[in-house]
Structure 1
Amino acid sequence: MADRGKEFALPPGVGGHADPKFGSVATAFARHFARGRGGGALAVYLDGEQVVDIWAGTSDRAGKTLWDSNTAAMPYSASKGIASTVIHRLADRGLIDYDAPVAEYWREFGANGKSRITVRQLMSHSAGLSELSSLAANADELLDHRLMEQRLAAAKPSVLLGRPAYHSLTYGWLMSGLARSVTDKGMAELFRTEIAHPLGVEGIYLGTPPAGAPTVASSFAGSMGAMNSRAGRRFAPRTVTIPGPLGAFMRTVFVPGFESLLDVDSPRILDTEMPAANAMVTASALGAIYSAIACDGQSPNGRFLSAERVRQLAHVQTRQLDRTLYLPFAWRLGYHSIPVPGAQRGFGHVGLAGSMGWADRNSRLAIGFVHNRLPDLRYLASDQTIGFRLAPYAVRAARAARSPGTVVPFRPQRSA
């Protein structure tokens, strides 16, 4: 599909390359992202072929090192999509059945009334295990991933068992505990053996890439703003008692000292295995995962998932309003819909501050988008929606690419 021999003239400040048919995507990326705080990258795949691989901005705290093709970022909850894909790979080999009780594989998980909770419930955020308050007393305990797996195995589910309630951080440890029970491997190792190696790509890690790896982790850019102010730290413990979306979300992420994990000078969150949040990925690698899903499990490196497995993981499990975020996520098995015009048919996973992986099986289109901006409340709304605003350009460009002679104009929207 790529227009080989031709090169789109990228906008100022944007590096990489883009097929001319997807020039509007690169122009939109430049408008929404190329200026300002930090840096980031966007990858677009069509029919399994990468048609956009672009980046902009800087990757270091000082703002002096330019982003490049090997720069990775922590995509927050977009990490969940990668962890979910590990489980689907194991299911594809008959090691896991979605309708089997989790305790059939992870024996300790059956404690405290959880013996009948299924893998399907776990992957659709319906296990009643979303809240952190009874699991960890402080941020130091969150860094002990084996401890968190053990405490979730011993925990009692809440009254939300059976109803979708976004498991903001616990989802990752639930996936790793399940995967460990059938492979005897941690999720960091499985990110490499079940995702990166089968796809034949670099740029997929859980936590900081090892020294000598081609992939280089970006530093956090900007600040936590109000979240990390003295007043913010005083107010945060009170938010867990607030009714409605804010309190519901904070109960899934807050423990005393949590803000210390995102310290810009020493981000301890990258020193553990937190599969719900701390992947370290390039946009190209994240897009490659979803490209294989968009192409019914086939990747340029061979079959990644069976077509039947992709059909199953793409099936909507519930359209109920999520009890944590109060949004109709249309949960698949570990992925959610992205309800924006032009991109509703696809699914993937978005992270805090807007990084995302996304696939549309109907058009065989996939996107990977990552950046290193911290979730500052002053910019959070605009950052959170960058990927949503870029996706429709890719959808329109893909449609035009299948219709020779069609030109997709760039129609500016409000920039970030």
Structure 2
Amino acid sequence: MHILVMGCNHQTTPIELRERFTFADDRLALARQHLRQMKSILECVIVSTCNRMELYVVCDQLHTGEYYSKTFLEEWFRIPREDFQEYLYCKQDQGAVNHMLRVVAGLDSLVIGETQILGQIKRFFLDAQEQGTTGTLFNTLFRQAIQFGKRVHTETSIGKNPVSVSYAAVELAKKIFTSLANKKILLLGAGKMSELTAKHFADAEASQIFVINRTFERAKKMAGIFQGEARAWADLATTLREVDIVVSSTGASELVVTKEEFAPILAKRRESLFLIDIAVPRDIDPKLHQLDNVFLYNIDDLQEIVAKNLKLRQQEASRIEEWITTEVGKYFDWLNTLGVIPLIDSLRQKALGAQEEVMQRIERKLPDLTEQERRIIRKQMKSLINQFLRDPIVRVKELAAQPDREQIFTLFAHLFALEEEGLEGSKEEPAQFAKSRLSSSTSI
């Protein structure tokens, strides 16, 4: 049995192709069922987010598992494999488990250390488990991975240090005021950066968010998203008297808040005003910092915070990578105790041997068969054997986690007379012999 992960993400695949590899939520169950029914696939979980699409599968053979996973993608999305296979990554066994743990820890994300992916992986797994497309191997692996992800975000600070300018602006405001619960925020500009900043302020429960933009309709639209209030550009001076924090990102080519125009207005304030200018070129006159009650920060100040925090996250990531190595070892130690893989290999070899004997008898009795006819017969016989073996393999794999697995393995071996095949010559019980074979093997 082997574990395989195949997929694409923001690092490997252009967005034009990632868009085509999107599973609609209402069709994910059908997609999982389709994948599970593919040849060689014994368990499966599908992960589909805005930045990644991944198939996690348990397969009986690596090359067939990889082939039929690509076949699934080809059939489901109706995209020829030659158009996408160069963009896919495919990780096997230890590499696949290592990759999964890096994903849940946030090390493989667009923003290192983000926590959203952990919840998404948990949801995709639980849906697959409820549907019945997972079994013993994945039920154990995904539970271990989810617990590991929780540990990472609880015991490290990898997700606690902002690494985006918009988030750093809000974190700076929180450090200045401790709490934003009773603070009023003004966002100058209604572009993407301002929208991200507004989201972070809303998450921090700022009491009120005002949005001012040259185009009032854009300001109104963005304010509506965050239950804020849009104001006209002409109301800028009035609004500056009311708010505690201003974050500016207009995209203007020149200063929009100058000392000459606004110093007289700001001088009348009793409370301090904090200005955070994240625009390039700058929106706010640097001379305003000269006023006693005005504190001005620009994007370079925030970049220093981001760079420092990114370094801290990278340091934490190195520590987490060591944890991952340990976790991978723990999982395969558990897997190797199952003793099921040599049993299954022996069963498969016995079946293939029987197939070959029957094929030889057919060829003796029908010597005039063409090579094409022989290939067709061999293919159909192999398909029949695979169908017959599928359920016994799935059942013994599921039973391998039971406390009485030793007796189960022994019974399984005797039922299929495996002691006459792969277990021949061993004086040990079939289960113990299977374990000894596993311990000397480097792959599953």
TM-score (norm 2): 0.24
Structure with the larger helix share: 2
Computing the radius of gyration from Cα coordinates, the structure with the larger value is: 2
Structure with greater contact order relative to length (CA < 8 Å, sep ≥ 6): 1
TM-score by length of 1: 0.25
